[in-house]
């Protein structure tokens, strides 16, 4: 009986795929667009072709759950000072050699995790005083059917949905889920195709397209770049990232996060001087730039009167906002407040 329950809970028909000849399928959830032979998994190792149909093998299986300040996602202009019920599964469509969560993202044992139905996740969020659910820790796209159901239920209860993502979601999937997504934090891991190819086993261009599309779809977006010594920390590369962001919208908050050695990458932690230099470069081009993982937080300054509108002390905040307007000069601050 228990075994049956586990099996029922864990497998779900995928909706983002199409059938091909000879029982092959093409997954449409992310930009890998894996063509999967019968009885095989896609790159993410959680979507399996069984007799010409694609199944999500980890439906209802959460490997990690936490109640986090929304600032930790990081989202600095989205409901500051609130809590996000945060959930993740095993698996990932990237293979980043510096992954901070490699123990779950590179795991392929589909039996791991606790059973949580979409309604249980929403109830847990409400019961713990969270105003949002963050789909995070690993790449949420790979379990999109699980999260779409959860997002729909959350929306009905007035709970916001946040995707913390590498931006590799396909455009068809993003368009389909966008009515239920309130905010996204999207990584720009580098501005080099070589880096994406060698370090993440993916491509840069689709990530940039996702950022443009999410912005066009009016989802609140913030971006994160992990600055890694000798890998993506050149002045030119940081400047290229900032210029791209400006081409979409100079008001998009940009988070520059300090790297610490993890998984297969053994570079030294990013020197604080490099972080400060990257901050200065971005700040010349963008309006809202923040440093992360450096032991202190950055405040949000009103671009018009230069007063502090959100003061951050760790994950605590002091707001100097009247809804979405600076209390001092009454100018609008971009974000969801
Ligand atoms: S979600 Fe998984 S199976 Fe689908 S295209 Fe991406 S890596 Fe391949």
- Residue whose C-alpha is closest to residue 166's, from 205, 133, 193, 140: 140
- Residue whose C-alpha is closest to residue 173's, from 116, 217, 119, 220: 217
Cα 27 to Cα 100: distance, rounded to the nearest angstrom: 26
Q: Residue of the nearest CA to atom 3 in ligand 1?
A: 42
- Residue whose C-alpha is closest to residue 167's, from 189, 150, 151, 187: 187
Ligand 1 atom at shortest distance from the alpha carbon of 45: 2
Mean pLDDT of 183-204: 97
Q: Is the CB–ligand 1 distance for residue 200 below 6 Å?
A: no
- Over the stretch 231-265, which tens digit does the pLDDT of each residue have? 999 999 999 999 999 999 999 999 999 999 888 88
**Do 216 and 186 contact (CB within 8 A), yes or no?**
no
Q: Is the CB–ligand 1 distance for residue 30 below 6 Å?
A: yes
pLDDT at 5 over 90: no
Ligand 1 atom at shortest distance from the alpha carbon of 46: 2
Cα torsion through 273, 277, 279, 281, rounded to 10: 180
- Residue whose C-alpha is closest to residue 167's, from 184, 150, 181: 184
DSSP H or E segment with residue 213: helix 205-216
Mean pLDDT of 184-212: 97
**Do 122 and 157 contact (CB within 8 A), yes or no?**
yes
9 CA from centroid of ligand 1 (Å): 21
Which residues make beta-bridge pairs with 258? 227
Ligand 1 atom at shortest distance from the alpha carbon of 32: 5
The model's pTM is: 0.95
Domains of the chain as residue ranges with CATH: 2-56 (no CATH), 61-298 (3.20.20.70)
Q: 240 to each of 159, 188, 191, 233, 276, how far by Cα in Å?
A: 36, 11, 7, 11, 17
pLDDT given for residue 70 in this prediction: 97
- Residue whose C-alpha is closest to residue 184's, from 96, 255, 93, 94: 255
Q: Residue of the nearest CA to atom 2 in ligand 1?
A: 44
Q: Is the CB–ligand 1 distance for residue 44 below 6 Å?
A: yes
- Residue whose C-alpha is closest to residue 222's, from 145, 312, 144, 292: 292
Q: Is the CB–ligand 1 distance for residue 32 below 6 Å?
A: yes
Q: What phi, psi does 142 have (nearest 5°)?
A: -70, -20
275 CA from centroid of ligand 1 (Å): 34
Substitution site in 27, 106, 163 for ligand 1 pocket (most atoms within 8 Å of beta carbon): 27
- Over the stretch 35-82, which tens digit does the pLDDT of each residue have? 999 999 999 999 999 999 999 999 999 999 999 999 999 999 999 999
201 CA from centroid of ligand 1 (Å): 13
DSSP H or E segment with residue 111: none
- Burial class from Cβ neighbours inside 10 Å (0-12, 13-18, 19+) for residue 126 reads middle
142 CA from centroid of ligand 1 (Å): 6
The pairing of strands 47-50 and 53-56 is antiparallel
Sign of CA dihedral 107, 110, 114, 118: positive
Mean pLDDT of 142-165: 98
- Over the stretch 301-320, which tens digit does the pLDDT of each residue have? 999 999 999 999 888 899 99
Q: Residue of the nearest CA to atom 5 in ligand 1?
A: 33
**Do 102 and 199 contact (CB within 8 A), yes or no?**
no
**pLDDT range class, residue 9, cuts 50, 70, 90:** low
Ligand 1 atom at shortest distance from the alpha carbon of 141: 1
pLDDT at 4 over 80: no
Q: Is the CB–ligand 1 distance for residue 33 below 6 Å?
A: yes
């Amino acid at each position: 009986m228990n075994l049956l329950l586990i099996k029922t809970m864990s497998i779900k028909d995928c909706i983002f795929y199409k059938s091909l000849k000879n029982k092959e399928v093409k997954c449409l959830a992310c930009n890998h667009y894996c063509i999967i032979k019968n009885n095989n998994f896609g790159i993410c190792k959680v979507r399996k072709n069984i007799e010409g149909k694609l199944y999500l093998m980890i439906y209802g299986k959460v490997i990690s759950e936490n109640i986090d300040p929304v600032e930790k996602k990081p989202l600095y202009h989205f409901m500051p000072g609130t809590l996000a019920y945060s959930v993740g599964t095993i698996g990932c469509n990237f293979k980043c050699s510096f992954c901070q969560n490699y123990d779950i993202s590179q795991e392929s044992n589909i039996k791991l995790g606790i059973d949580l139905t979409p309604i249980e996740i929403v109830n847990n969020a409400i019961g713990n005083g969270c105003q949002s659910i963050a789909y995070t820790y690993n790449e949420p796209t790979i379990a999109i059917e699980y999260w779409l159901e959860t997002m729909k239920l959350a929306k009905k209860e007035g709970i916001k949905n946040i995707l913390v993502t590498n931006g590799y979601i396909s455009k068809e999937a993003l368009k389909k889920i966008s009515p239920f997504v309130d905010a996204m934090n999207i990584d720009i891991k580098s501005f080099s195709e070589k880096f994406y190819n060698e370090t993440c086993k993916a491509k840069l261009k689709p990530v940039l397209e996702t950022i443009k599309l999410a912005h066009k779809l009016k989802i609140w977006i913030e971006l994160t770049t992990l600055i890694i010594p000798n890998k993506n920390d050149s002045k030119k590369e940081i400047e290229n990232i900032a210029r791209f962001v400006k081409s979409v919208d100079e008001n998009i908050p940009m988070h520059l996060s300090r790297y610490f050695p993890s998984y297969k990458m053994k570079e030294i932690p990013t020197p604080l001087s490099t972080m400060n230099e990257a901050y200065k470069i971005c700040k010349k081009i963008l309006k809202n730039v923040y440093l992360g993982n450096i032991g202190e937080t950055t405040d949000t300054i009103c671009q018009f009167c230069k007063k502090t509108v959100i003061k951050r002390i760790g994950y605590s905040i002091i707001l100097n906002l009247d809804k979405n307007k600076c209390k001092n000069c009454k100018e609008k601050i971009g974000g969801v407040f």
